[in-house]
Structure 1
Amino acid sequence: MPEVRRIRADEASAIRELRLGALLDPAADIAFLETRAQAAARDDDFWEDRAVSGATSERVAQFVAETDAGLVGTVTVLRPEPGAEDYFGRANPSGRAQMVAVYVADDHRGTGLLGELFAAGEAWAAGLGSAEFSLDTHVRNMRAQQAYRKLGYEPTGRTIHGPIGLEIEMLKRP
């Protein structure tokens, strides 16, 4: 089983390659808010800033799954200030963390790795005071919805019109 851990500040190149790989997934157009071309066009400073913040911030943390061959999965956890607007313009409720940028390489799906990534991210956020966790997924991304339900996330009934279409909000209260 891959090792699940928080990224290190010096892993900009590795997280760039993981993101570019994720954006090749057949469901990428209903799973991510950017295209592969957009991600590929980002400069080194962008990836370095992302690695440093994902490794050291108390507002964002990126968790990865690593094998001898490299990174094979990721989830990023956002802990915005209460009331701050998120990527869809919603005010963040106090005590809520958001799970975003979720990806597990095809050959590692169905192994429990997604659960390990989420457990690591949820434990980190809970340790800083988050009492519930949310995520958004495209209404047509049934594979993701099923996986998130297995992890305890349930639809809230709230939908959001985002840049890639209609998304549903899912929530977990441990």
Structure 2
Amino acid sequence: MGYLIRPVKADEWKRLKELRLAALADPVARVAFDETFEVAAGRPDELWQERARRSEEGDVALTFVGESEDGSWGGMVVVLFEEGEAVPQTQVVGAFVRPEHRGTGLARELFEAAIEWSWGLAEPVVERVRLWVHEENVRAEALYRSLGFVETGRTVVNPGNSGAVDREWAVRRA
């Protein structure tokens, strides 16, 4: 199955909202999110419109979607430029692939687009791309490792489950 990997456009905010809610409703994927379905579903349309608008502008945050040949969205990933950090970096968040698109290579394509966008930023030059992964998400860890990410040793308590840990992974500019 082939995908067009592209940024979300401002007028696609309703589709963006639907995809995010699908991610939060997915029992496998929701472990990776700091937000619940109920909270996200209650957010005003203006928030979704702003997220889609920022993605189209693409200067500090970008949401990539994988659009299949029939026009449906199989998954997404968000990449954010993190200002004020000691090392210029971006962070990948909000990664999700619909169950029927898992195992197709879509997740890899989405992450490659996020990393490529990060390396393409001109000022400041991004030195690393990072992400946080739930300690039990071994499938995601395998993908990140294959893309060149390594564990940094930093951990945080998972915001949605105080008994779980998220680990930081990062890839540095070659």
Percent identity among equivalent residues? 40
The residue aligned with 2:80 is: 78
TM-score, normalised by the number of residues in structure 1: 0.89
What's 2:47 paired with? Answer: 46
- Give per-residue Cα distances to partners, 1:25-59, cap 9 Å, x unaligned: 22244210011111111111010011001221411
Question: Could you say which residue in structure 2 is the equivalent of 1:153?
Answer: 149
Q: Which residue, out of 110, 115, 119, partners 2:112?
A: 119
Task: State whether residues 78 and 99 of structure 1, in contact with CA within 8 Å, keep that contact through their aligned partners in structure 2.
Answer: yes
Listed one character per residue, the Cα deviations across residues 136-155 of structure 1 (whole Å, up to 9, x for unaligned) are 01112222222222222111
Segments of 5+ residues of structure 2 without an aligned counterpart are none
Distance in structure 1 (CA, Å) of the matches to 2:146 and 2:134? 17
Residue equivalent to 1:168: 167
Give the structure 2 partner of residue 31 of structure 1. Answer: 32
Q: Are the aligned partners of 1:7 and 1:51 in contact in 2 as well (CA < 8 Å)?
A: yes
SS of aligned partner of 1:53? helix
Q: Judge conservation of contact 1:77–1:100 (CA < 8 Å) in 2.
A: yes
Which residue in the other structure is 2:57 paired with? 56
After superposition, what is the alpha-carbon deviation per residue over 1:53-95, rounded to whole angstroms, capped at 9, x for unaligned?
12214111111111215211111111021x2xxxxxxxx3322
Question: What value does the CA root-mean-square deviation take over the aligned residues?
Answer: 1.4
1:80 counterpart letter in structure 2: E
Report which stretch shifted further, 96-105 or 121-130.
Answer: 121-130
SS at match of 1:110: coil
Query: How far is 1:23 from its partner?
Result: 1.1
- For residues 39 and 90 of structure 2, the distance between their equivalents in structure 1, rounded to whole angstroms, comes to 26
Count of aligned positions: 165
Q: Is the 8 A contact 1:27 1:141 kept in 2?
A: no
- Equivalence for 1:93: 86
Matched residues in 2 for 1:118 and 1:57: separation? 16
TM-score w.r.t. the length of structure 2 is: 0.89
Q: Is the 8 A contact 2:23 2:30 kept in 1?
A: no
C-alpha contact (below 8 Å) 2:7/2:63 kept by paired residues: yes
Partner AA of 1:2 in structure 2: Y
Cα distance in structure 1, aligned partners of 2:39 and 2:107? 25
Give yes or no for contact 2:153–2:167 (8 Å, CA) kept in 1: yes
Q: Hey, what's the Cα distance between the residues in 2 that align with 1:53 and 1:29?
A: 24
